[in-house]
Amino acid sequence: MISLTRNIFILTNNVLICDKFNDTLKVSYVDGSYIDVLYQVRDRIHTGSVLISHPLMGSVKPNETPYRSIILEDKKGALDFQSLSIIESAIESCKKLLNDRPTPDWSNKVLEDFKFLDMKLLESALSSLGINY
């Protein structure tokens, strides 16, 4: 059973995350790329949400994987400038990396591996929040 002290939700473009957590957590699927997830996160921050997990967590660069899942706290109210600064920096880093070297056209097997890696990174972040599933 999940014990939540905050009103968290996940933005993701990884269907594995939706399949695994949709019944127990709020999950919003982004039908798009890694940078599209970052833009959606930025939009949510502008409405008051706060970053819980870092948008560039893990050692896989944005131009290497097409998948990203990010945890936010669902709030309404004042803009959290620290969250905004982090997401804007992440967007700029992502743009630079994608311009320098676009994401390869990975095989389906490699894409499945990247989905799995994204899920493991998210599980680790949830675990650090004390969320057991």
Give me the mean pLDDT over the 15-38 stretch.
95
Average pLDDT over residues 8-26: 95
pLDDT of residue 2: 42
pTM exceeds cut of 0.85: yes
Residue with tokens 């599980």: 123
Give, as one character, the DSSP assignment of residue 56.
Answer: T
Element (H, E) at 13: none
pLDDT in tens, 73-131: 998 889 999 999 999 999 999 999 999 888 889 999 999 999 999 999 999 999 999 88
In angstroms, the CA 37 to CA 65 distance is 13
Beta strand spans in 1-133 (E): 8-12, 26-29, 50-51, 69-73
Q: How far apart are CA 40 and CA 104, in angstroms?
A: 23
Structural tokens at position 123: 């599980």
Residue type, 106: W
Secondary structure (3-state) at 35: helix
- pLDDT given for residue 131 in this prediction: 86
Q: Nearest Cα to 24, choosing from 7, 2, 52, 8?
A: 2
Q: How far apart are CA 19 and CA 39, in angstroms?
A: 23
Residue count of the chain: 133
More confidently predicted of 125 and 5? 125
Residues 8/133, Cβ–Cβ less than 8 Å? no
